[in-house]
Each structure stands twice: as C-alpha cells, then as structure tokens.
Amino acid sequence: MKRVFSGVQPTGNIHLGNYLGALKQFVELQDDNECIYCIVDLHSITVPQDPKELRSHILDVAALYLSVGIDPKKSIVFVQSDVSGHSELSWILTCSAYTGELSRMTQFKDKSRGKESAPAGLFMYPVLMAADILLYDTDIVPVGNDQKQHIELCRDIAIRINNKYKKTFVVPDGRFLKEGARIMALDDPTKKMSKSAENIHSRISLLDEDGKIKKSIMRATTDSDGEIRFDPENKPGVSNLLTIYSVLSGKSIDDVVASFAGSGYGDFKKELVEITKEALLPIRQNFSEIRESDELKAILRDGAERAGAIAEKTMKRVKDNFGIGF
C-alpha cells in the first residue's frame, strides 16, 4: 500500500477547480492506498484571515471533504495545526532550503507582486508544504498542476537531506491528472480558477445554488468564431468549458466535441449547466447535514490523533539523524 497525502487551504469555498484537480483524485485513491487528507490552516494564515471566518472555513472544508466522498473510516482527515510536527519539521527543513530557490517560486512571486514587503510566511510557504508531505513518509501527492513547482522543491529538499544525513525521508511523487489539473477562470480563461478572485462568476463553488451555476456558466468568456473545438491556445474559454464537461460527464473531449458538432455556444453552455447542477447537487445535499453534525469534530479529533502518531515516529527519526534533542 502506498501512502498518499494532500491538503486544501481553508480560504473560502472550494471550487470546481479544486474538485476536478484535487478532491476527485482524493476520493479515487482511498480504496487502494493509505490516504491522509489535511486542512492546511497554517498555510492559510500566510495571507490575512478573519479568525472567526477561518474557524468556520476549516469546518466547511472538512465537511466538503466528507461530502465529496472521502470516507473517514478509510482515510485520515485532520487539521494541520492540530499536529505540532508540521511546524517543527518545517523549521528543520528551512535550514536546508535556499533563499534563491524559494525566490523562484511562482506562487510567491504572484502573491507578493507589487507589494513593498511580503510576510516571511508567504516566502516559507513551500517549506511548510514540504514538511506536511515528508512528515508522513508520503509516496504520492495528488494535486493540481499549479503545485508542480512546490512538489519539485519538496523532492529536492528531501534528496538534499538524505544525501547529507542518513537516509531520512521518502522522496514523494506528485500525481497530476491529464484533464482537470488546471481549470481556468470562467471570466478570464488565461488565469486559473481561484478561491480568492474578486469576481464570483470567475468560479463555480461546490456549494453554489443552481441559479448561480447557470449565471456563471452562461456568462463565461468564449470567443467570436462560434465553433466548438478543443484548442487551449487559440480558444482557451471554449476549451476550458469542454474540459469541465468532459470530466464531469466522464466522456472524452473528442466525444463531447463530436456530440456538439454544428451546435452553438448557447446550447453547449445550457447542457454544461445541467451536467454541473447534477454533479454538485448531491455534494450540496450531503454538506448541510455533515456540517451541522457533532460527528464532524469527532472525526477531526480522531484524525489528528492518528496523524499525530505517525508524525511522532518521523520526528523521532529526523531528530536522531540530525543529532538534535535529547
């Protein structure tokens, strides 16, 4: 059995990009692997958060994990800050990470662009992410394409430490889907769909009502040539909608294109609205019940205990190999 680890930030409502790029994989992997799914609250405070809202978002993400089909009997689900090993290992890795490589991270460059000064936490974000992964001897990390550079850095740090000290870490592999790994914003298909974009019609959140789903899809940016064809370079808007259609319906992109031959964008979008509504309805229905239940917190407590036991063993090995602690 392989060990799988991944995380989602509690920074707002999870959207179709998070679902198709990451969460869908989480569910698929849990039957044949030992999976650990984390709500990475320590990562979310690299940008300002309202404490009350943050606490509520943590429970929202936990409830969404379960609503999409993550089964706490099969997988460990927990909150990052409930296991102290994440912060502890993060410092140890910091001492083997270079400021040069961290300065090259595109997420850091994007999030700090135009600011005179950025929080040091934003700079260290990828090291904390590496700690999350290495703390659990992870083999596979299912994530969206935007995390490729962070996974590469995690591997580099693990290899560097293994070469310098005794073999300490398992070197993990990223797992990226062929389709769905990068869902673009509906209003601007040159940018990735994001929780933090200002325009709510740039994304579809998993909890959006039918009316909002319809509005966001019907006003999605396309182009003026009118042909339904998969060509991400020249037709990014239509290609993005085709990808969403394909992954949600389970049909190949070629089949979707063939079934809409001769149709206009309006008809295609209307069908996409229906498919999206159908896919999200059960998630929304599960969510309200789970979010209100007492069981949710019990699941997170149990998850933190199970994750904590694994983390403790790793930390002991790391400290031994580094010659720290007593």
For the annotated catalytic residues, the residue numbers are 111, 192, 195
Among 4, 5, 8, 64, binds ligand ATP (CB under 6 A): 8
Q: Indicate the residue among 213 and 315 with the shorter CB distance to ligand LTN.
A: 315
Residue 9 sits in the site that holds ligand ATP (CB under 6 A): yes
Residue 269 sits in the site that holds ligand ATP (CB under 6 A): no
Q: Is 174 helix (H, G, I), strand (E, B) or coil?
A: strand
Q: Which helix (H) or strand (E) holds 140?
A: strand 140-142
Q: How far apart are CA 270 and CA 268, in angstroms?
A: 5
Residue 181 sits in the site that holds ligand ATP (CB under 6 A): yes
Beta bridge pairs of residue 34: 3
Q: Report CA-CA distances (Å) from 179 to 17, 210, 239.
A: 11, 24, 11
Start-to-end C-alpha separation, the chain: 33
Select from 10, 23, 11 the least CA-distant residue to 175: 23
- Name the site residues for ligand LTN (rule: CB under 6 A): 5-7, 9, 40, 43, 129, 132-133, 141, 143, 147, 150
Among 80, 194, 222, 246, binds ligand ATP (CB under 6 A): 194
Select from 77, 97, 172, 98 the least CA-distant residue to 134: 172
Q: How far apart are CA 242 and CA 194, in angstroms?
A: 19
Q: Indicate the residue among 149 and 259 with the shorter CB distance to ligand LTN.
A: 149
133 binds, among ligand LTN, ligand ATP, none (CB under 5 to 8 A by kind): ligand LTN
| Chain position whose Cβ is nearest to ligand ATP | 21
Q: Which amino acid is at 172?
A: P
183 binds, among ligand ATP, ligand LTN, none (CB under 5 to 8 A by kind): ligand ATP
Contact between 263 and 272 under an 8 Å Cβ cutoff? The reply is no
- 171: how many CB neighbours lie within 10 A of its CB? 16
192 binds, among ligand ATP, ligand LTN, none (CB under 5 to 8 A by kind): ligand ATP
Q: Minimum distance from CB of 147 to ligand LTN (Å)?
A: 5
Contact between 324 and 99 under an 8 Å Cβ cutoff? The reply is no
Q: Indicate the residue among 107 and 259 with the shorter CB distance to ligand ATP.
A: 107
**Per CB under 6 A, which of residues 60..119 are in contact with ligand ATP?**
none
Residue 147 sits in the site that holds ligand ATP (CB under 6 A): yes
Q: Indicate the residue among 161 and 221 with the shorter CB distance to ligand ATP.
A: 221
Q: Minimum distance from CB of 111 to ligand LTN (Å)?
A: 11
- 316: how many CB neighbours lie within 10 A of its CB? 11
Among 83, 127, 183, 204, binds ligand ATP (CB under 6 A): 183
